[in-house]
Amino acid sequence: MKISLAPLDTTHFPLLLKWLETPHVKKFWDPHVTWTPSLIHAKYSDYVKGYKIEGGIAKRMRAFVICVDDVPVGYVQGYDAHDFPRSNPLMGLKNNLSAFDVFIGESDFLKRTVASKALELFFKILDEDYAYTFADPDPKNRAAIRLYQKAGFKEIAPHTDVDTVWMLRKSPLAEHLEQQELSLLDVKVRASPALLEQLIDDSFREFGSSGVMYTKQDLLALLPLEKDRKFTVDAFEVQKISKDVALMTYVLMEENGSSLRSSLWKGDENKWRMIFHQGTTI
C-alpha cells in the first residue's frame, strides 16, 4: 500500500463534496454546513492556489489529497496557527506554530494506517517552516486524539477553559536543538573541550549578560575552569530562520538571577553547531 499526497486540484472538488457530506466526516468537520458544488468551489478554489483570504490578506494554505496507490481517499490541510482566529484564542502558545486538519473520506480506509502514514508525510512538509504543530481535536473524537498521540503530540494545558483538547508536537529539529542547548548547560559537557568542540562552531561569538564578548576559543579555555553552576531553563522556543539556520530563545535561571537567552544554530540534517549566543539580565 503506497501512501502519497497530491496537491489539491479543482478535479478533486466532486470528491470533497462527497466526503464532506459523509456522516463520519460531517460529525466533526463543518457539521452545520450543507455543502454544494458552488460552496466547495467558493471555499477551496483559493486553496488550490496555495492561500486563503483572511481579513483581506492572502494567508498561506497547504492543501493535499491523501492517496492510496494513487487513488484519492482523504484530505489534509496545513497553515500558520496564528493566521486564522479560533473561538478560543491561542494564547500562551509558540509563535512558530503550524496547525492542520485531516480526514479520511473513504470509509473503507478508516481503520487502516492511512491517516497515520499520511500525517507522517505531511509533517515533513510543515517542518520545513515550522518548529511546532498544534492540534485541538474534539474531546469526543478519541480516534483523532489517539492518531495525534501516535504522531508525537502531547496534551498541553489550555490558557483558558476550552471545549477542545489542546495538543502540541515538536518537530525533530526543535527536539534536537533543545537537547543541544541543554547539553551546553550540562556540567560534564562544559568541563570537556572535546565535547564543546562538537557543539560550537569555529565562527562562534557570544555577547554575555555582563557585556563581554567571547569567541569559541575563549569558551574552550574558560568553561572547563568554572565552578559548578546549577541551571534551570524555561520557555524554550525554536524558530527556523532559513533552511540551515535556527533561532533558539529561552529563560535561564540561576541562584544569583535570571536572564533571557538567545542562540543561533547553523547546520543540516547531520550536524548543528551554535554560531551565536547572547544573554540579557532580567
Whole-number pLDDT of residue 112: 86
Whole-number pLDDT of residue 229: 86
Whole-number pLDDT of residue 165: 93
Q: Which of 120, 149, 170 is where one domain is finished?
A: 170
Whole-number pLDDT of residue 175: 96
- Tell me if 103 sits within 8 A of 118, measured CB to CB: no
CATH number at residue 34: 3.40.630.30
Whole-number pLDDT of residue 169: 98
* Same domain (yes/no): 86, 110: yes
- Tell me if 135 sits within 8 A of 100, measured CB to CB: yes
Whole-number pLDDT of residue 63: 98
pLDDT tens for the chain, 282 residues: list them.
999 999 999 999 999 999 999 999 999 999 999 999 999 999 999 999 999 999 899 999 999 999 999 999 999 999 999 999 887 888 889 999 999 999 999 999 998 899 999 999 999 999 999 999 999 999 999 999 999 999 999 999 877 677 899 999 999 999 999 999 999 999 999 999 999 999 999 999 999 878 899 999 999 999 999 988 899 999 999 999 998 999 999 999 999 899 999 999 999 877 999 999 999 999
* Same domain (yes/no): 134, 179: no
What domain count does the chain have?
2
* Same domain (yes/no): 104, 18: yes
* Same domain (yes/no): 265, 139: no
* Same domain (yes/no): 229, 106: no
Q: How far is CA 17 from each of CA 43, 56, 73, 77, 168, rounded to the nearest angstrom?
A: 11, 26, 13, 16, 30
CB-based contacts of 31, cutoff 8 Å, min separation 6: none
* Same domain (yes/no): 179, 254: yes
- Tell me if 33 sits within 8 A of 39, measured CB to CB: yes
Rounded to 5°, the CA angle 128-132-134 comes to 120
Q: Which of 170, 204, 233 is where one domain is finished?
A: 170
CATH number at residue 240: 3.10.450.50
CB-based contacts of 260, cutoff 8 Å, min separation 6: 249, 251, 252, 279, 280, 282
Grid-cell match 557543539, residue found: 199
Extract the C-alpha cell encoding 200. 560550537
Domain enclosing residue 218, as ranges? 174-281
Q: How many Å apart are CA 45 and CA 16, to the nearest integer?
A: 12
Contacts 24+ apart (CB under 8 A), 227-233: 228/187, 229/187, 229/254, 230/254, 230/255, 231/185, 233/181, 233/182, 233/185
* Same domain (yes/no): 96, 202: no
Q: Which of 170, 196, 216 is where one domain is finished?
A: 170
